[in-house]
Chain A
Amino acid sequence: MIVLTINGQETQVDVPDDMPLLWVLRDVIGLTGTKFGCGIAQCGACTVHLDGQAVRSCVLPVAGAVGKKVTTIEGVSGTDLGKKVQQAWLGIEVAQCGYCQTGQIMAATALLAQKPTPTDADIDTAMSGNLCRCGTYVRIRAAIKQAATGQMTLPQTIA
């Protein structure tokens, strides 16, 4: 039996040590906000936080998460930073199909937690591992800046 701490809650799972965290989250625990995209850490759709660091859960054996704090999109949504990022995402309407966006937001919140006012180069480094086939990159960059500074340089959607 493996004990994980996910979004602040202890959870026991009976799975092989080498099972990727992604499938433990999705198929065993039922947290489906973390997405499968490639299985080889090339697309970032499966991004979660491990002790605050953005990691690709599709290649992280579940045993590697034992004793560490796992945060998923479901957990980030409850934090002030998570809410600020999500509000910026909605304000300028980043998401299209939305499938990669939970991973994008996990990567963005990890960046902002470490660098509250990131430069363009910081954003490039933190976000270039997260693919988006809808091509929302221009707005992802803008939304990170909006979340960081609170300045709305682009027109906002009408809710």
Chain B
Amino acid sequence: MTHRTHPAEADTDLLDPSRRELLKRGGLVVAFMWLGGASRVWGLADSARIDAGHPQFAPNAYVRIGNDGSVQLVMPSIEMGQGAYTGQATLLAEELDVGLDQITVEHAPANRKLYANPLLGEQATGGSTTIRYCWTTLRNAGAAARSMLVSAAAQRWKVDASQCTASRGLVTHAPTGRTLRYAELADAAAKLLPPDKAPLKDPSDFQLIGKPMRRVDTPGKVDGTLPFGIDIRVPGMKVATVQACPTLGGRVGAVDDTRARAIPGVLKVVKLDSAVAVIGEHFWAAKQGLEALDITWNRGANANFTTEQLFQDMAHASEHGTPIMGREVGHVDGVSGKAISATYQLPMLAHTTMEPLNTVVHVRPDACEIWVGTQVPARCVDVATKITGLPAERIMVHNQYMGGGFGRRLFEDSVEQAVAIAKQADYPVKVIWTREEDIAQDRYRPAYYDRISATLDGQGQPVAWTHRTTGASVMAVFAPGAMGKNGLDPDLVECAADLPYAIPNMRVDWVRHDMPAGVPVGWWRGVGPTHNVFVVESFVDELAHAAGKDPVAYRRDMLGDNPRARAVLELAVQKAGWGQGALPARHGRGIALAAPFGSYLCVVMDVEVSPQGEIRMKRAVAAVDCGTVINPNTVEAQIQGGLVFGWSAALYSGITLKGGAVEQRNFNDYRVLRLNETPPIEVYIVPSKEQPGGIGETGTVMAMPSLTNAIFAATGVRLRTLPIDTTALVQDKNALKAVMSAVSEPADIVGDVAAKARSLA
């Protein structure tokens, strides 16, 4: 019999009760049974369908078919809302010839050998890469499995496989009408050798790809039955919450826990180097206990660090630091013409996933088990190994559905901390961060300081372009090996070095200015393109204005031979009615165009700005060419949601530091967009047969410049610093004074206006 690699096998030669049992039932199930078992853990019921004594067909890391009729698809990329499970399952199911209603999906175990993302060099989900790399990998995997099942049927019938067809888990021998279910073929297929390469379907034969299939994960999300990491409950589990030193990089000094221990339900106080945790019978006891602690912090080197200092330092570095070349085309020096230049500033940002960070950990003398929603499962094993001293094969990570990721769960700091806490308890511990802790201890999107300039020829077209960005490198922390030979972090110049426009002379470079030690940085939805496209597309708008040209006509002239960019531009412009009829006073329409993550997008926005400076988004129209579309419903959702995520940041979000500590605390002062502020968003997809591009982050990339360009059109005010300072948009002070006198109890937005009026008065 030919040995098949089981998904849970290669690097997980694990844990009791037995490896054999694990192979039969799936790692999650066995590990959970071992703990005493409870039915709330996701996957138990589904995995149990491939049951004891029934061999299964598992031809590769992604497909398992039981002779009970079950079809399990193992998901190499994680699900955090972006639709990755449905996209991956669609690619597998299409070539396997099963329906999405016939399959279950399973979180991949931590296993770099089987599940590393080749585009990231790690078992990681991010960078809008999932469909781009799975497009080939998963269709091949599905096709190979199907081919083996069909071969098994052909052998059974003693006919040629070419006479057999497959559909919805059933092989049919067309000449005789005989049929066999995959369930009946699983045992025989498991004895066959996988083909070197199975043929893939012609796109015209696709049954699932390109259709708005219902997501595989949403039924449990609308009735509350689908557990997220925070919902996991294991027998004997207690609940902890934690506070790290508010001054980033600081340490714990003395802890007086007398009052905390007196609170009913408080079980234990755990002191770590930089944080203190309280374990309780439930979260409420733990939180009350934490609040009752008297902690003396050693605030360390950042005790006087401020956001003002950060931007001063970056401005200085931008002028005097050593730039690293991102891209040089022609010669920018000595080009004559009209010179335009500007400086842009972007703030640090937090992620604020709706599900606060949490981890369930059970550290035992011989093993460590972790339940967590993570974008980097293998790295969670690494940190658990470091903290517990146990070998990697004694660590088991059960990945979970995530209540948002946005890059935050690409970092395993909270998992490492939870293991350290649980190591001091002889029972499983669920560590939940409060929202305040989530904002105070994020891995922040770095701040950026960009200087950009251009020289315009007689027709107003840019003939020279220089863009220097200054800021911290996330890649140097996340994947040092991915840094360029010259020290370039490619993220810093993504969508700055590779513009959709044809400009004869360009220089794009970066001055690395890392945060002080202890101020952690991380990936944030849209990564480099979110930063650079804001700067580039704002500045292109500035150039159009300087040249006296319409922003759309100006971009058309700059595009050169770029048919895909041109097509999304024309589609968005047509759908939005650009140039058709005059807009009322203080209404404006703005545009942004870019090609991030292998896709092409154009967004046109309409806004209204009140005399008091309040911004009302009226409408957004997006056109996208993301190559072959796997699920058009998901594409639309990601662009709508991505835009909202970006607008939140543009309008409200910014992390500021004072005394080395984050000043924002919760959603009251780290505001994000609400339903009543969200405009209608139309998404139009350009049909394409190209390779799939990324989609999950593209909307966020487009959000900020399309908004600020529309505000410029409405007010004539160019916003070069985010988040938007609406006091800059006030038409006249009298308008504000009128608001002030009318409001006795200022609240929310009106309160903001009143505060601005006072500051201006």
Contacts and interface: CB of A to CB of B under 8 A. Distances in A.
Q: Do A and B bind each other?
A: yes
Interface of A: 15-16, 19-20, 23, 26-28, 30, 32-40, 42-43, 45, 72-74, 77, 86, 89-90, 93-102, 105, 123-125, 127-141, 155-159
Given A42-B668, A95-B222, A133-B353, A159 B101 contact: yes
B224 A95 contact: no
B402 to A, nearest CB: 6
Given A42-B666, A96-B81, A97-B355, A33 B224 contact: yes
A128 B676 contact: yes
B62 interface: no
Contacts of B355: 35, 37, 97, 99
Nearest to A23: B284
A97 B402 contact: yes
B167 interface: no
B212 interface: yes
B88 interface: no
B644 A157 contact: no
B-side interface size class = 35 or more
B633 A157 contact: yes
Interface of B: 40, 80-83, 101, 211-215, 217-228, 230-231, 233, 239, 264, 281-284, 287, 352-356, 401-406, 432, 434-436, 633, 637, 640-645, 648, 666-668, 672-678, 680-681, 699
Given A23-B283, A138-B640, A99 B224 contact: no
A133 B432 contact: no
Given A37-B435, A77-B223, A138-B640, A93 B675 contact: no
Nearest to A88: B222
B356 A133 contact: no
Contacts of B633: 93, 155, 157
B637 A96 contact: yes
Contacts of B637: 93, 96, 136, 139
Given A39-B435, A73-B223, A157-B212, A97 B80 contact: yes
A19 B288 CA distance: 10
B284 A158 contact: no
Q: What are the 6 tightest A-B residue pairs by CB atom distance, in nearest-first order?
A: A33-B224, A135-B644, A99-B403, A97-B81, A98-B221, A135-B641
Give the interface centre of B213, B221, B401, B676 by most chain A CB atoms within 10 Å: B221
Contact of A133 (B230, B352, B401, B436): B352
A132 B640 contact: no
A37 B403 CA distance: 10
Contact of A20 (B215, B284, B644): B284
A90 B224 contact: no
Contact of B282 (A23, A34, A37, A94): A23
Nearest to A136: B641
Contacts of A72: 224
17 contacts: A32-B230, A38-B666, A73-B223, A73-B224, A86-B223, A93-B637, A97-B355, A130-B675, A133-B354, A135-B641, A135-B643, A135-B644, A135-B645, A138-B680, A139-B640, A141-B675, A157-B633
Contacts of B678: 135, 137-138
A100 B226 CA distance: 12
A98 B80 CA distance: 9
A157 B213 contact: yes
B84 to A, nearest CB: 11
A15 to B, nearest CB: 8
A96 B223 contact: no
Nearest to B218: A95
Contacts of A134: 81, 354, 404, 641, 644-645
Given A27-B239, A42-B666, A95-B215, A89 B222 contact: yes
A100 B354 contact: yes
Given A34-B224, A86-B222, A158 B640 contact: no
A40 B352 CA distance: 15
Contacts of A40: 435, 666-668
A133 B404 CA distance: 7
Given A28-B282, A32-B231, A128-B674, A38 B435 contact: yes
A133 B672 contact: yes
A158 B631 CA distance: 11
Contacts of A136: 637, 640-641
Given A93-B215, A127-B676, A137-B644, A37 B354 contact: yes
A93 to B, nearest CB: 5
Contacts of B436: 39
Contact of A19 (B212, B230, B284): B284
A30 B642 CA distance: 33
B419 to A, nearest CB: 21
Given A20-B284, A38-B435, A105-B222, A155 B675 contact: no
Given A38-B667, A97-B353, 20 more contacts: A16-B264, A30-B40, A32-B224, A35-B403, A36-B356, A38-B666, A40-B666, A43-B354, A93-B218, A95-B222, A97-B401, A97-B402, A98-B226, A98-B401, A98-B403, A99-B228, A105-B222, A135-B673, A135-B699, A138-B640
Contact of B223 (A27, A33, A99, A158): A33
A37 B436 CA distance: 10
A73 B217 CA distance: 17
Contacts of A26: 231, 283
Given A27-B284, A128-B676, A158 B213 contact: yes
A120 B436 CA distance: 33
Given A32-B227, A135-B642, A136-B637, A157 B675 contact: no
B672 A93 contact: no
Nearest to A120: B676
Contacts of B354: 35, 37, 43, 45, 97, 99-100, 131-134
A125 to B, nearest CB: 8
